[in-house]
Amino acid sequence: MTDPDAASMHCEVVEETVQLTLVQLSHACNAEADAVVELVAHGVLDPQGDDPRAWRFAGDSLRRSRLALRLMRDLDVNVAGAALALDLMDRIDHLQSLLEAAQADHTPAR
């Protein structure tokens, strides 16, 4: 059964071992290359390579860049604000994984 009012969702599965160029990443994000360069300048993305023409982005850069661009568009934050938000989300994820590991260590054996 299909809901005609349901919003369409676009999804891409990208393995973390995939390497993307600046052009490929900006195309996948539907953004200008300058926007991706700005994300790199603010530490949102950390490409391999010294020159933008030689940059290679890991597969998880696609998720991070899309999230940063969405924060900038939807919440009207600047690049620095998006970088801060992503840093805080990364810290929350790290703390949650530590908490889950600690809870797993204290789970009684059955």
Tens of pLDDT, residue by residue over 56-99, are 999 899 999 999 999 999 999 999 999 999 999 999 999 999 99
- The torsion region of residue 55 among left (phi > 0), alpha (psi -120 to 50) and beta comes to beta
CATH code (residue 48)? 1.10.1660.10
Whether the per-residue pLDDT at 2 is higher than 90: the answer is no
Q: How many domains does the chain have?
A: 1
**Structural domain for 29, as ranges:** 19-104
In a domain, 2, yes or no: no
In a domain, 7, yes or no: no
106 — pLDDT class (breaks 50, 70, 90): confident
In a domain, 37, yes or no: yes
3-state DSSP call for residue 39?
helix
Whether the per-residue pLDDT at 13 is higher than 80: the answer is no
In a domain, 34, yes or no: yes
In a domain, 32, yes or no: yes
In a domain, 24, yes or no: yes
